Amino acid sequence: MIIAISSPPPFDTTELAEKLAAQNGLRVIQNPAPSLCREYGFQTLYDMPQNLQSEIRERLIREHADFVKTNNDLLLNFSVFGYLADWMRWFWRNTPTEKWEEMLVLAGDAASRYDEIHHIEAGESQQYDGYVWFDKRNSQQINGLSKYLYGEMNCNEKVKPC
């Protein structure tokens, strides 16, 4: 079983992740994006030069798709929808149509392996960690894009609003 938590920044999903993992006997996996940014010496994706940002965004989706193909019994405290929604909000104009189509196929394959998607669109904010952006309008826009992507990837029936 793979459960993904999908939430715009800046909501704290830790408590829900731990609860769902305990109920279902799942291992919690955190979003690798912040540590990948730090590995390259940046605080966020937005700080990176355009070419590197493109490479990292694609890498996150590719590695995620590969990871969910080869692993089970996971609680993902993030989702591929968050990666795509953020890409659509902040980086889409730099993306050729062929690359976007390729990313949608990879992301769709990853999303098809999710058994449940717990969508959170409100809640308590997490502590500032240098990565998460707390802008309310950005959060609302990412939320709307995520909901759009559920339909685009035929995942609406898996979504459980929280």
How much is the pLDDT for 9? Answer: 86
How much is the pLDDT for 139? Answer: 84
Is the whole model's pTM more than 0.75, yes or no? yes
Rounded distance between C-alpha atoms, residue 58 and residue 52, angstroms: 10
Mean pLDDT, residues 138-146 taken together: 92
Q: Where do we find the tokens 């609003």?
A: 161
- What is the dihedral sign for C-alpha 112, 3, 161, 106? negative
Rounded distance between C-alpha atoms, residue 139 and residue 143, angstroms: 6
- Give the CA distances from residue 25 to residues 20, 131, 156, in Å, rounded to whole numbers and listed in that order: 8, 29, 24
Q: Higher confidence at residue 125 or residue 30? A: 30
Rounded distance between C-alpha atoms, residue 66 and residue 44, angstroms: 23
Structure tokens, 131: 């990565």
Q: Order across the sheet with 74-76: list the strands.
A: 27-29, 74-76, 2-6, 116-119, 159-161
**133 pLDDT tier (thresholds 50, 70, 90):** low
Domains of the chain plus CATH, in order, are 2-161 (3.40.50.300)
Lowest mean pLDDT among 5-19, 36-50, 92-106, 120-134: 120-134
- Give the CA distances from residue 139 to residues 24, 28, 31, 74, 160, in Å, rounded to whole numbers and listed in that order: 29, 23, 17, 25, 19
Rg (CA), the chain: 15
Which regions of 30-154 does DSSP assign to beta strands (E)?
Answer: 74-76, 116-119
How much is the pLDDT for 121? Answer: 87
Residues 14-63 pLDDT 10s: 999 999 999 999 999 999 999 999 999 999 999 999 999 999 999 999 99
How much is the pLDDT for 162? Answer: 84
Q: Where do we find the tokens 């999903």?
A: 13
* C-beta neighbour count of 93 within 10 angstroms: 5
